[in-house]
């Protein structure tokens, strides 16, 4: 038999990416103070995010590699290559 009052409130929650306005609904137990009204008429708790998979450079493919930043890494390696050989 299940005990009452020991489990957190598990419900639909809207997560909003503030950098691009993308929002998604997922079930969560997170506690929020804000809510949002969706187009379908439901009013759900709201969690605001700074970034999500829709805006993060790793997931969007816009991440820059350190090796490709103007050849700076290669210049550093060439400049200090002789020090490694002497040691």
* Residue with the larger pLDDT of the pair 2 and 74: 74
Residues 6+ apart with CB under 8 A from 59: 53
3-class DSSP state for residue 25?
A: strand
Domain boundaries, the chain: 11-86
Which phi and psi angles does 83 have, rounded to 5°? -65, -35
Mean pLDDT of 42-65: 78
The pTM of this model reads 0.62
Residues 6+ apart with CB under 8 A from 64: 57
Q: What is the pLDDT of residue 80?
A: 80
């Amino acid at each position: 038999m299940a005990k009452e009052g020991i489990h957190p409130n598990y419900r639909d929650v809207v997560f909003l990416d503030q950098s691009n306005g993308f929002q998604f609904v997922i079930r969560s137990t997170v506690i929020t103070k804000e809510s949002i009204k969706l187009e379908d008429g439901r009013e759900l708790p709201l969690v605001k995010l700074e970034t999500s998979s829709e805006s993060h450079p790793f997931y969007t493919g816009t991440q820059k590699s350190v090796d490709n930043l103007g050849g700076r890494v290669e210049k550093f390696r060439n400049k200090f290559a002789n020090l490694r050989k002497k040691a």
